[in-house]
Structure 1
Amino acid sequence: MELRNKYYGRGNDEKFSLDKYLTKSELQIICQTRFDSNELEELRDCYVFASFTGISMYDLLVMQDYDIYNLATRTFIKYYQYKTGMFRTVRLFDIPLAIIRKYRGKFGQNQILPVSRFRGIGGPRKALNLLREIACSCGINKTLTFHVAHRTFMKTILLDNEIEFQLVQMICCKNVEQSKIEELDMRQLVKKIRKMKMQFN
């Protein structure tokens, strides 16, 4: 319980202080805000995707359609995680799947997200500048980064939906076997995210 409380932002060295992740209401505002600029809308969708998967910006840049696979009624993405040098398997829930469907086939045969404008020199800096615009447009007084998106996945999507800390470790850990991720019983979380999807629409 003490370890779990640490991740809920208690104590002097909180791992999840409020400025390090987005709350459910803040994430909902970002999802529902309309943008006049295509690049703002596209980056917002990438950011929401990262907030529901914990995937870093760098890894999003190189993901391809063939990284996605189905197992029974569930959909996963298996990708090479640049930071750890290992493969990671992530369950894709309704909102990330809706984002993939939105962009599939629009930016090349295998590209699943609109990330091409953020590749190369200056791409990450451009993304950070646009994230500032997104935060300002949404009235969110936080510095948006993809590290914040990763923490949002752990805190708001998993822990706040009563996913046990040990299970969160399995979902987010770099060295869990693919088969163990595939076997996780996440039916309750799926139901809760479906309700969130209705709110975000």
Structure 2
Amino acid sequence: MEELKAIENKEFENEMLKQVKELFLFSCYTGLAFADLLSLKPENIFTANDGMKWIKTSRAKTGTPVYVPLLKQAISILNIYNQDAEYIFPSTTNQNINRGLKIISEICEIKKHLTFHLARHTFATTITLMNGVPIESISKMLGHTKLSTTMIYAKVTQSKVAMDMAMLQQKMNENE
């Protein structure tokens, strides 16, 4: 999480790095794969009856429908981009994004090897799983048809196990 905050808090004057940062963070907060992010159109964003904004799209890789509720961080990034264009985000290559992420990781002094796919992994673990979102919901948002696929992303970390057990203990204490 601290690496994510380091990227979020860093201001870039270079337009290319600014765009790489925004696309990477958008994926961190939505779980969208690179191809799905680039194919996102304004009509893929809708507001539900409760006022919450959602992404409704299909995975480029499998055609599986995906519905993702938008967190405020993702909405802020979305608002930067032209909603009147055919595609929300400007076209680029995965190679260019990963090149930019290498520079960003050096500037932010992040030791991890950053790739765009790591954003999807971050969504599955740091953003959702570590905050108590059930694995079944994460699986749906990632567009996985099998829970076993999601389990690859969402390795249950020791801190998650500790957190879950602390919550269980608290519930058991309340029932005494």
Question: Shared fold by TM > 0.5?
Answer: yes
Corresponding residue pairs, total: 145
User: What is the alpha-carbon distance in structure 1 between the residues aligned to residue 115 and residue 62 of structure 2?
Assistant: 19
> Which of 79, 83, 86 is the matching residue for 1:110?
86
Q: Is the 8 A contact 1:128 1:144 kept in 2?
A: yes
> Which of 49, 53, 78 is the matching residue for 1:75?
53
Secondary structure in structure 2 of the residue aligned to 1:102 = coil
Larger Rg: 2
CA RMSD of aligned residues (A): 1.8
User: What is the alpha-carbon distance in structure 2 between the residues aligned to residue 170 and residue 89 of structure 1?
Assistant: 8
Deviation for aligned residue 1:175: 4.2
Q: Could you report, residue by residue, the CA deviation over 1:77-100 in whole angstroms, capped at 9, with x for unpaired residues? A: 111211112221111110100111
Find out whether 1:94 has 2:94 as its counterpart: no
Secondary structure in structure 1 of the residue aligned to 2:79 = helix
Quick one: structure 1 residues 134 and 86, their matched pair in 2 at CA, closer, same or farther if it must change by over 3 Å?
A: same
Quick one: structure 1 residues 88 and 35, their matched pair in 2 at CA, closer, same or farther if it must change by over 3 Å?
A: same
Deviation for aligned residue 1:38: 0.4
Q: Is the 8 A contact 1:57 1:146 kept in 2?
A: yes
Residue of structure 1 in register with 2:24 after alignment: 47
Give the TM-score, by structure 2 length: 0.76
In the alignment, structure 2 segments of 5+ residues that lack a partner are: 147-176
Residue of structure 1 in register with 2:40 after alignment: 63
In the alignment, structure 1 segments of 5+ residues that lack a partner are: 1-23, 177-201
> Which of 104, 120, 137 is the matching residue for 1:150?
120
User: What is the alpha-carbon distance in structure 2 between the residues aligned to residue 168 and residue 86 of structure 1?
Assistant: 14
Q: Could you report, residue by residue, the CA deviation over 1:117-171 in whole angstroms, capped at 9, with x for unpaired residues? A: x1xxxx2222211110011111101111122111100111111112233333333
Q: Is the 8 A contact 1:88 1:175 kept in 2?
A: no
Residue of structure 1 in register with 2:167 after alignment: none
The one-letter code sitting in structure 2 at the alignment partner of 1:86 is T
Q: Is the 8 A contact 1:66 1:110 kept in 2?
A: no
Q: Is the 8 A contact 1:76 1:89 kept in 2?
A: yes
Find out whether 1:168 has 2:144 as its counterpart: no
Deviation for aligned residue 1:109: 2.4
Quick one: structure 1 residues 88 and 167, their matched pair in 2 at CA, closer, same or farther if it must change by over 3 Å?
A: closer
Residue of structure 2 in register with 1:135 after alignment: 105
Residue of structure 2 in register with 1:84 after alignment: 62
User: What is the alpha-carbon distance in structure 1 between the residues aligned to residue 44 and residue 137 of structure 2?
Assistant: 23
Q: Is the 8 A contact 2:33 2:117 kept in 1?
A: yes
Deviation for aligned residue 1:65: 0.6
Residue of structure 2 in register with 1:35 after alignment: 12
Larger relative contact order (Cα-Cα within 8 Å, sequence gap ≥ 6) = 1
Give the TM-score, by structure 1 length: 0.67
